[in-house]
Amino acid sequence: MIGYTELNIDLTKAQNAMKEETHRFAREVLRPASIELDKIDDPETVIKSPLFWETMKQGYDLGYHTIFLPDSYGGLATDPLETHIVLEELAWGSVDFAIGLGISCFPAFFASMVPSDRLIDDIIEPFCQCSDASLIGCWGITEPDHGTDTLSPFTATFADPAISGQTRARREGDEWVIDGQKAAWVSNGTIATHCLLYPTLDPSRGMAGGGICIVPLDLPGVKKGRPLDKLGQRALNQGEIYFDGVRIPSEYMLVDPESYESMLDVTLSTANAAMGALFVGVARAAYEEALAYAKQRIQGGKPLFEHQMIKHKLFSMFMKIEAARALSRAAMIYNYNNTPPMIQYSIASKVYCTNTAFEVASDAVQIYGGNGVSREYPLEKFFRDARAAMIEDGANDSLMITAAHHL
Amino acid sequence: MTVFENKEKMQAVLGGLFEKLLADPEFGPKFVKSGITIKFNISDPNAELWVTPGDGTHGQVAWGSHADKATVEMTLSGDTCHKFWLKQIAMPIALAKGLIKAKGPMPKILKLLPLLKPAYEAYPEWARSHGLPVD
Ligand SMILES: Cc1cc2nc3c(=O)[nH]c(=O)nc-3n(C[C@H](O)[C@H](O)[C@H](O)COP(=O)(O)OP(=O)(O)OC[C@H]3O[C@@H](n4cnc5c(N)ncnc54)[C@H](O)[C@@H]3O)c2cc1C
């Protein structure tokens, strides 16, 4: 059963059913798998484990990798409210798998903005029809030397020629040739088959001189690093990608410097709105565990829940989650229905919801007492998952500065 | 100077283009099957153009206010419209830069894009035949 009351009285039967189904998948498949995989020390072992692939395949089989893609190609094509509902439920089970499945669509999603016959045949349709996780996408934007620098469109430093990317693409005839490296943070990095890559095309424009292209990762000159060992979201594979004279057809370069900054704004708006929805799910997961525990753990002769201090804390967690859902749904519904989007709302949602997930998970650990920090219980995992999110898709403090430029 | 000197001219060019396309044996049924109703809010000259799946067998072109609810609403100037159909500006770029403002769920807009291909193909010749600049 889903542990919150749906305040949207207009939700249809089909939307309620979609929520229940996603919740069931999250409870029965994603949550147990991600807890099991979280216990594995070496991230290389995670991606070699049959459990990881079995879980990814089930997610693909249900089409969760295609929620952003049109049904005409075979995508799930959920509307903005449904997208929020699905992401919240998936992340309630496992934010690691929810992000892995969500980010996977990036190459096909961007290709569907400029749908030439070749892109439809090579990229979009095969991805939509993939039901065994044999085609996986990733988003390669940040670099070892440029993290926040890459994610600050329309700020003063973004167009400073003294600051430009270390992954470069140059035109040669009908091809683009790519050299350089993307950061160890690229989600799905070492398991991806395709990258939506953001290289620099014109360094004289600084970070604004970028482009957006699709790189099949089986091309000569592509090399991948080892999976990154990190705090939280451990079933989300990450790793660097190196490019050494990699050649792609010109048709795979989707965006040039002329519109790069605007398209980055669209990218960040889309990704940050999704992050908001996802981390409502994480906050809720932590809150529900803490509420159940508080009703059963006896101290001072009665359940923790009967102590005013604990009740007050739980209600404060409840309020934050409801506020986070209201903001992130509104931001997603507006920005996924309007192009160009208003990035400040997506960023407000991302920052608010990830901060909320962190605060709620921290309070939940506190309510669990010593058990909260024990790996026997899922609380410390939620806490770690939430902490990583405050840096993921842009460090919250810097994102706020980027968004503030729009006030 | 705007490309369309007045509303009547724009109606003849854009309305005519869609009527021609809806009558096309390939585009017409595909568009109707998509179930998408598009509303173009055009400025300079000001007009509302609707392209709808009609009665479910034959698509329909209409001007002015309309009883249907738009699946996708595009707000743009007459000049942007002309450049867009001439492929002088790509949709995602026009959208990202705000030259075209789109309202409607993202997957529906993305679904629409490949459907519009025949319109791009037909437009240069069509515009030329109506005396509009196409270079
Ligand atoms: C879990 C996770 C998943 C990720 N997934 C992806 C992915 O799929 N693809 C991808 O490309 N990247 C990904 N990233 C990378 C992520 O976007 C970056 O880590 C993030 O943008 C911050 O960049 P950085 O780590 O280089 O930190 P830095 O940019 O070095 O920032 C360090 C600190 O300095 C602050 N700071 C930075 N610049 C300024 C400034 N100008 N003024 C004041 N303060 C500043 C920041 O706010 C931050 O607190 C992921 C990261 C994580 C943690």
**Domain extents for chain A?**
13-129, 137-259, 260-404
Looking at the complex, report in whole angstroms how far the Cα of residue B127 sits from the nearest Cα belonging to chain A. 23
- CATH for A13-129 is 1.10.540.10
DSSP A6: -
User: Cβ(A400) to ligand 1 under 6 A?
Assistant: no
- B51, part of any domain: yes
The answer to whether A255 contacts B97, with C-beta atoms less than 8 Å apart, is no
Mean pLDDT (chain A) is 97
Domain holding B34, by residue range, is 7-123
- Can you give the pLDDT at residue B56? 87
Give the pLDDT of residue B1: 80
Q: How confident is the model at residue B115 (pLDDT cuts 50, 70, 90)?
A: confident
What percent of chain A clears pLDDT 70, i.e. is strictly above it?
A: 100
> What DSSP character marks residue A86?
H
Question: Residue B92 and residue A113: Cβ atoms within 8 Å?
Answer: yes
Which ligand 1 atom minimizes the distance to the CA of A398?
47
Q: What percent of chain A has pLDDT over 90?
A: 98
Quote the ipTM score: 0.86
Residue B95 domain flag:
yes
Going by the DSSP 8-state scheme, the letter that residue A249 receives in this structure is: E
Q: Which atom of ligand 1 is nearest to the CA of A232?
A: 1
Could you give the strand order of the β-sheet that contains B60-63, starting from the edge strand earlier in sequence? Answer: A338-339, B101-103, B72-77, B38-43, B47-52, B60-63
A72, A127, A256, A260, best to mutate vs chain B, most B CBs in 10 Å: A72
| Interval A332-342 mean pLDDT | 94
**Across A180-187, average pLDDT:** 98
User: Does pLDDT of B67 surpass 80?
Assistant: no
- Looking at residue A243, its pLDDT comes to 98
> Considering the domain boundaries, does residue B110 fall inside one?
yes
Return the SS3 of A65: helix
Fold of A137-259: Butyryl-CoA Dehydrogenase, subunit A; domain 2 (2.40.110)
* Residue-wise pLDDT tens digits, A233-259: 999 999 999 999 999 999 999 999 988
User: Is there an atom of ligand 1 within 6 Å of A393 CB?
Assistant: yes
Each residue's pLDDT tens digit, A69-112: 999 999 999 999 999 999 999 999 999 999 999 999 999 999 99
How far, in Å, is the centroid of ligand 1 from the Cα of A394? 5
- Ligand 1 centre distance from Cα of residue B31 (Å): 44
Neighbours of B17 (CB within 10 A): 20
CATH number of A260-404: 1.20.140.10
- Which atom of ligand 1 lies at the shortest distance from residue A399's CA? 47
Domains: count for chain B: 1
Mean pLDDT (whole number) for A190-206: 98
A258: contact with B, CB 8 A cutoff? yes
* 8 Å CB contact between B78 and B4: yes
CB atoms within 10 A of CB B1: 4
pLDDT at residue A301 tops 90: yes
Separation of CA A67 and ligand 1 centre (Å): 26
Contact between A399 and A405 (Cβ < 8 Å): no
The per-residue pLDDT for range B73-92, each reduced to its tens digit, is: 999 999 999 999 998 888 77
Which residues are bridge partners to A242 per DSSP?
A181, A223
Residue B1, domain member (yes or no)? no
Residue A49: band (very low, low, confident or very high) from pLDDT cuts 50, 70, 90:
very high
Contacts with B52 (C-beta within 8 Å, 6 or more apart), sequence order? B37, B38, B59, B60, B62, B66, B68
| Chain A residue with the nearest C-alpha to that of B73 | A338
For residue A81, what is the nearest residue in chain B, using CA coordinates? Answer: B105
Amino acid A128: pLDDT: 98
Nearest residue (by CA) to ligand 1, atom 3, is A392
Q: Using beta carbons and an 8 Å cutoff, which residues of B are at the interface with A?
A: 34, 90-93, 95-98, 100-111, 113-115
| Strands of the sheet with A241-249, listed across from one edge | A168-172, A175-182, A241-249, A222-224
Residues 53-112 of A with CB under 8 A from B: 68-72, 75, 77-80, 109, 112
Cβ of A147 less than 6 Å from ligand 1: yes
**Is the predicted pLDDT of residue A149 greater than 90, yes or no?**
yes
- Going along A112-229, which residue ranges are E strands? 137-140, 168-172, 175-182, 194-197, 212-216, 222-224
Q: Kindly state whether A404 is in contact with chain B, defined as any CB-CB distance less than 8 angstroms.
A: no
CA distance A289 to A294: 9
Give the pLDDT band (50/70/90) at residue B68.
confident
- Our CA-based measurement puts residue A81 at a distance from the nearest CA of chain B, in whole angstroms, of 10
Q: Which residues of A touch B103 (CB under 8 A)?
A: 337-338
Average pLDDT estimate for A286-306: 98
Q: What is the CATH number of the domain that holds B108?
A: 3.30.1050.10
Q: Whose CA is nearest to atom 44 of ligand 1?
A: A398
Burial class (CB in 10 A: 0-12, 13-18, 19+), A121: exposed
Residue B109 in any domain: the answer is yes
- The answer to whether the beta carbons of residues A276 and A331 sit under 8 Å apart is yes
**Are B110 and A79 within 8 A, CB to CB?**
no
Asked whether residue B128 is assigned to any structural domain, the reply reads no
* Residues A96, A235 contacting (CB under 8 angstroms): yes
Q: What is the pTM of this model?
A: 0.95
pLDDT at residue B26, as a whole number: 84
Closest residue (by CA) to atom 45 of ligand 1?
Answer: A398
Q: Answer whether A13-129 and A260-404 agree in fold.
A: no
User: Which of A187-201, A261-275, A381-395, B24-38 is predicted with the least confidence, judged by mean pLDDT?
Assistant: B24-38
Which residues in chain A have Cβ-Cβ distances shorter than 8 Å to B92?
113-114, 254-255, 259, 263, 266
Which residue has a Cα nearest atom 52 of ligand 1? A392
Burial B89-124 (b: 16+ CB within 10 A, else e): bbbbbbbbbebbebbbbbbbbbbbbbbbebbeebbe
pLDDT band at A59 (very low <50, low <70, confident <90, very high): very high
Predicted pLDDT of residue B49: 95
